[in-house]
Amino acid sequence: MKLNKLLLTFIIGIFLISSITASDYLGTQWEDINIVETCTVNGFPCPNDFLCNITISNPNNELIVLNSPMTRNDTIYNYTFLSTDYLGDYDINIYCDNVTLSGNSESSLTITTTGQNPNLRITIFLLVIALGIFMLALHLKSHAIGFISGVLFSITGTYLMIYGLGDVADMYTRAIALVVLTFGIFVTLVSSIEWLEDLG
């Protein structure tokens, strides 16, 4: 009974897990990213005499870019950011002005290994369902349900291999994916062999 309550609490907790607050920009580690700012004055695009400069600090609060000019392209200003070595959140401050008017905007850039927002919901959901069906197969001693759980573990391992774990896709997440995939294949083979032996 306690196991059922614990499992139910864990499953409810999975659905309550939310990913981190989305940043204004999202990029992949070691890849260039274009930072674009739209400059407006009273709802209209800024005149040609406006200049915009950008300041960027990395997740260690070190200034990487200090008041670098942004390139004007019609009504937008662009800056190609090259220093995406560190994982985490970068602070961006853009300051635009001409002789009489000025303004600034603050935004953030999140650099991950995958270029995606961290989201563990699908991975955790697949793992919990596969584990739940596996426990059910052990409890009922059903080879058919064991076969299904093995297939689900294999699908989860494949998903981890392709998309990584949250916002991380590296050698370690691939190793975890390989373990889950191998376990899934093992459970599928064992349950199918025992299922055939019971039938034959």
What DSSP assignment string belongs to 112-143?
ESSSS----HHHHHHHHHHHHHHHHHHHHT-H
- Looking at domain 25-112, its CATH architecture is Sandwich (2.60)
Cα 1 to Cα 108: distance, rounded to the nearest angstrom: 47
Helices 121-140, 143-163: crossing angle, 10 deg rounding: 160
pLDDT tops 50 at residue 18? no
Q: Which helix (H) or strand (E) holds 172?
A: helix 171-199
Burial of 108 (0-12, 13-18, 19+ CB in 10 A): middle
Higher pLDDT, 111 or 4: 111
Cα 166 to Cα 124: distance, rounded to the nearest angstrom: 10
Mean pLDDT of the chain: 84
Q: Give 95-108 pLDDT, tens digit per residue.
A: 998 878 888 889 99
Considering only CA atoms, which of 88, 131, 89 is closest in space to residue 107? 89
- Of the pLDDT bands very low, low, confident and very high (cuts 50, 70, 90), residue 118 is low
Cα 162 to Cα 173: distance, rounded to the nearest angstrom: 10
pLDDT tops 50 at residue 133? yes
- Of the pLDDT bands very low, low, confident and very high (cuts 50, 70, 90), residue 9 is very low
HSE at residue 135, side-chain half, CA atoms within 13 A, is 9
pTM: 0.60
Residue 2's pLDDT is 52
Residue 7's pLDDT is 44
Residue 122's pLDDT is 84
Question: Left, alpha or beta for 69 (phi > 0: left; psi -120 to 50: alpha)?
Answer: beta
- Candidate ranges 34-48, 107-121, 133-147; pick with highest mean pLDDT: 133-147
pLDDT tops 80 at residue 179? yes
% of the chain residues with pLDDT over 70: 87
Q: Please, are residues 93 and 69 in contact by the beta-carbon 8 Å criterion? A: no
Could you tell me which residues are beta bridge partners of residue 71?
A: 78
Could you tell me which residues are beta bridge partners of residue 116?
A: none
Considering only CA atoms, which of 74, 73, 79 is closest in space to residue 105? 79
* Cα four-point dihedral sign 90, 94, 34, 44: positive
